[in-house]
Amino acid sequence: MPSRKILFIADLHLCEQHPEITTRFIDFCRRQALDAERLYILGDLFEYWLGDDAIDAVAQTVQTELIMLAENGCQCFFMAGNRDFLLGEKFAQTCQLAILHEPEIIQLFERSTLLVHGDAQCTDDIAYQQARKQLRNPQWQQQFLANSIPERIEFARQARQQSQAHTGRSTMDIMDVNNVAIEQLFQQHQVNLIIHGHTHRPAVHQHGDNTRIVLGDWHHQTHFLEATPSHLRLVNY
């Protein structure tokens, strides 16, 4: 019987090049998440996703762990990030993983809560927002998935290089969420709690009477948000 514990994670960036992160994810699933009621994955679970027909060993490991959680009574949810936006229903169904489309409002015990990945709110980064618009275009995605897997791998390699170069040229403030964009989310959706990832800056921010919780990345440690009827707690180790 699952406990009244709900967990949130984001920005693991799982890939074959960093097996230590996959090991931490396995440990997280078998220890922290095994008795959870729900697990929300808010984007960038994978470093990249080339299509549901291009499953590698890391994806197979994730599939195994998510099935185990589902069989133990933990409902698992996935919201796409800027790296794994091509993850589709075919793979999700094999994992018993429900796909969420942002922005998504959930009931977190007695509190209406808005979930987003966070990249759409980084509105000061004009170049990134232009690229995001193209990558989220269904027509572009269809054309991309029509390419051979080696062609998709090469595209992903070049995209990572361009992303690293862009990050190196950009200030940290530009790559963070824009406060006006965040205030608009609070007002538009009439919630007082937002949870997101993407920026790799775990923290709890107060916006007047409203709260914004930022999830951490997993590059060097395990990060998650634990919610129970009595507390909201960012955990890292």
Q: Are 73 and 2 in contact, with CB atoms under 8 Å apart? A: yes
Per-residue pLDDT at 168: 66
Residue 210: inside a domain = yes
Tens place of pLDDT per residue across the chain (237 aa): 446 899 999 999 999 999 999 999 999 999 999 999 999 999 999 999 999 999 999 999 999 999 999 999 999 999 999 999 999 999 999 999 999 999 999 999 989 999 999 999 999 999 889 999 999 999 999 999 999 999 999 988 888 888 777 766 666 677 899 999 999 999 999 999 999 999 999 999 999 999 999 999 999 999 999 999 999 999 999
Work out the angle between the directed axes of helices 138-145 and 126-135 (0-180°, nearest 10). Answer: 60
Per-residue pLDDT at 175: 80
Residue 176: inside a domain = yes
Tell me which residue range forms the domain holding 212.
6-236
Residue 65: inside a domain = yes
Residue 117: inside a domain = yes
Per-residue pLDDT at 169: 65
* C-alpha to C-alpha distance for 141 and 124, rounded to whole angstroms: 25
Per-residue pLDDT at 170: 61
Per-residue pLDDT at 195: 98
- Count: domains in the chain: 1
Per-residue pLDDT at 58: 97
Per-residue pLDDT at 79: 98
Residue 122: inside a domain = yes
The token pair at 157 is 């390699």
Residue 1: inside a domain = no
| CATH number for position 81 | 3.60.21.10
Residue 31: inside a domain = yes
